[in-house]
Structure 1
Amino acid sequence: MSSDETLVVTTAQEDEEYLFAFKQIMISSIPMVLKATIELGIIKLLSESSAQLSPTQIASHLSIKNPDAAVTIDRILRLLASFSFISCTLMQDKAGRPERRYSLGPRSKHFVKEQGATFVPWLLFLFHKVSLSAWFCLKDVVVQGKGDPFKHAHGSIIFDYTGTDPEYNDCFNNAMKYLSTIYMPKAMDKYHGFKSAKTVVDVGGGVGECLKCILSKHPHLRGINFDLPYVVKNGLSYPGLEHVGGSFVNDPIPKGDVLLLKWQFHSFEDEFGLKLLKNCWNSLPASGKVVIIDPVSPEYPGTDLMTRTTFTSDMVMLGVTPGGKDRTLREVETMARAAGFSSLKVGCRFLNMWALEIYKNA
């Protein structure tokens, strides 16, 4: 009897409601499995292969000696195939038994580690054991307050912790760097907010990947990448790019007519964010502006993909940053005016990010 002939004793609505709930409970397995396939080298192998490979062939190519590896690899890849990360063709082996063969799928292009615009470092950061441990403290933060989940788990905020754990610091910096390779080229295609500037300062710019992208589009600019000394010591070398070590909490922000806050403003609580904006205001000339690149939360929790992505991003801010959150346009404008800025202008949206401009004078 085929599966099509099986007696179904639940209604379509019951199936949908139950399976939706079941999926949400089990969904954490998907990024963990994807992470394992990347670390094993399976995604890289499939990206380099001109033919579909069986699980046995995959295990052989990767020189895995475990005799049961092919069975486990098959179970892993059929899950990813069901979500279109991997493509699968059902064939028969020499004994006439079903055999699945795999290749890269339509949703795999952002998970090939060797490609420039890749989500792999972001995945490895979010599902690093240090990051994951913060989620076990979410309930404690709701009940007790006093800090964020990451601080509850590790005794310090993430930006201090990275200074004590070189491996995790590299993981974090790579995540920020490679996210920039996805987002910033999209922004530079249409956003012209840096065109008339002379000096752009990336406040908390990591190793300088974002400024590199901006300078490649606007080579007339002088770019200053301002971040903590242990971060900028590993900064990128690029024409027009200068690295300056310091803390935007305790040190003056370098002067520039455009200050960039990419994923900085949403990484801190309101009190700190207001202080950061005031420091930016002090470093700007009268005609200067701050460009904020962040997700923007809608007022109403809709069910569309963009809204879900934004609110999921907000949960990452809740879990790992010290009071960070993705704000609404109204909240951004309120804080900007409280810091002394005269007006807010929406530059553009690219993917799930927005470029917002706040001006020192109207």
Structure 2
Amino acid sequence: MSLDETLAVTTAQEDEEFLFAFKQDMISCVPLVLKATIELGILKLLSESSAQLSPIHIVSRLSIKNPDAAITINRILRLLASFSFLSCTLMQDKARRPKRTYRLGPLSKYYVSEQGASMAPWLLLLFDEVSLRTWYGKDNPIKLTNGAILFDYTGIDPRYNNHFNNAMKCMSTIFMGKFMVTYCEFENAKMVVNIGGGDGKCLKFIVSKHPHLQGINFDLPHVVKNGLSYPGLEHVGRSFVDDPIPKGDILLTNFTDEFGIQLLKKCWKALPVSGKVVIIDPVSPEYPGTDLVARATFTSDMVMLALPPGGKDRTLREVEVVAHAAGFSSPKVGCQVLNMWALELSRCRMNNYLELFTSRPFL
């Protein structure tokens, strides 16, 4: 009797419910395996090959010496094929044994882009040992380092700081490229300041699209020292906690509400009378829906819970509470790109614009 002829002893609904629950228990295998294929160079190799490759060919081209490597890699790649990261062709060799060859699948385009629009650095950050240990409370290396928060820790761990900066750059590339096509509020602006803007990738997108703009990338000194060089883009290395905010802002909202209010009040003072704040961030729905955007947002909120102390993804109502407490208007929805929203906060009437950004997922 073949597998297809096996007598079913459960209903289709039972199968679906149990297998969904089973997958949740095992789901961590998928990103960890994907991380391994990135670090081993397997995805890059497949992206550069015009032909499908067998595990034996992959082992040979990567010069892996372990005699069991082909068997292990085959098991890894068939998992990724089942999740559509790869595609697989099943054949038989001369001895009628199954032979599998692999190539990139539909989802792999998000992990091998040569233009920086890759989610691979984000995956490497989230599944780095330091990030994973933050889920275990007292063993959190970030908090154990003299009580440091995430941004302090990146300043003393160069390896982790590199992961963090690469992750921020890649997500800026993915989201900001699309926002620049949709969002037009920069046309009348003169100065844009990105608070917590990393190496300036996000701001570069803005000033390259609108050459009349001047941009200030405002972040910690150890972050901006390797900032991008681009006409109209200036880097300022200071603390957005202790130092005054330049005239024109980009807001990083993923902190406690109390800190968010303090930061917005600083921004209020830095804005012209007719200024505007624009926050780019996920917005959590009030009801925990099961659609892909809701799931992505609630999952993102768990990352915010684990990594930056006090971090959160807010609902529109929660953004409104923080905005009102700092003297701003209720948020106005500018546009949505994927699971990110542009929310506008106004001080007064809008004649001139000074833009304030949270280029999320900038933690």
TM more than 0.5 = yes
Aligned residue in 1 for 2:92 = 92
5 Å matches for 1:300-311?
Answer: 300-311=287-298
5 Å matches for 1:322-341?
Answer: 322-341=309-328
Give the alignment partner of residue 185 of structure 2, picking from 186, 189, 193: 193
Gaps of 5+ in 1: 142-148
Contact 2:331 2:343 in 1 (8 A): yes
5 Å matches for 1:54-203?
Answer: 54-112=54-112, 114-137=114-137, 151-152=142-143, 154=145, 155-203=147-195
Aligned residue in 1 for 2:205 = 213
5 Å matches for 1:241-260?
Answer: 241-256=233-248, 259-260=249-250
Contact 2:116 2:169 in 1 (8 A): no
| AA matched with 1:328 | T
Return the offset for 1:360. 1.6
Aligned residue in 2 for 1:240 = 232
Using the size of structure 2 for normalisation, the TM-score is 0.93
Return the offset for 1:152. 4.7
Contact 1:150 1:320 in 2 (8 A): no
Q: How many aligned residue pairs are there?
A: 348
Give the secondary-structure state (helix, strand or coil) at the position aligned to 1:340: coil
Contact 2:88 2:101 in 1 (8 A): yes
Return the offset for 1:13. 2.0
Contact 2:130 2:142 in 1 (8 A): no
Aligned residue in 2 for 1:349 = 336
Return the offset for 1:57. 0.5
5 Å matches for 1:283-322?
Answer: 283-322=270-309
Return the offset for 1:67. 0.8
Aligned residue in 2 for 1:144 = none
Higher relative contact order (CA 8 A, sep 6+): 2
5 Å matches for 1:243-282?
Answer: 243-256=235-248, 259-261=249-251, 264-265=252-253, 267-282=254-269
- More displaced stretch, 184-193 vs 88-97: 88-97
Structure 1 distance, partners of 2:178, 2:167, is 18
Return the offset for 1:153. 5.6
Structure 2 distance, partners of 1:342, 1:349, is 20
Structure 1 distance, partners of 2:162, 2:52, is 34
Structure 1 distance, partners of 2:209, 2:143, is 42
Structure 2 distance, partners of 1:234, 1:326, is 28
Name the CA shift for 1:235/1:298 in 2 (closer, same or farther; >3 Å). same
- More displaced stretch, 56-65 vs 105-114: 105-114
5 Å matches for 1:28-67?
Answer: 28-67=28-67
| Deviation digits for residues 236-288 of structure 1 (CA, Å, limit 9, x no counterpart) | 001100001111111010112xx222xx20x2011111111011111111011
Aligned residue in 1 for 2:353 = none
Return the offset for 1:2. 1.4
Structure 2 distance, partners of 1:34, 1:115, is 20
Using the size of structure 1 for normalisation, the TM-score is 0.93
- More displaced stretch, 173-182 vs 11-20: 11-20
Contact 2:203 2:233 in 1 (8 A): yes
| Deviation digits for residues 211-250 of structure 1 (CA, Å, limit 9, x no counterpart) | 0000111011000000111111000001100001111111
Give the secondary-structure state (helix, strand or coil) at the position aligned to 1:243: strand
Structure 2 distance, partners of 1:153, 1:121, is 25
Structure 2 distance, partners of 1:157, 1:52, is 45
Q: CA-atom RMSD, angstroms?
A: 1.4
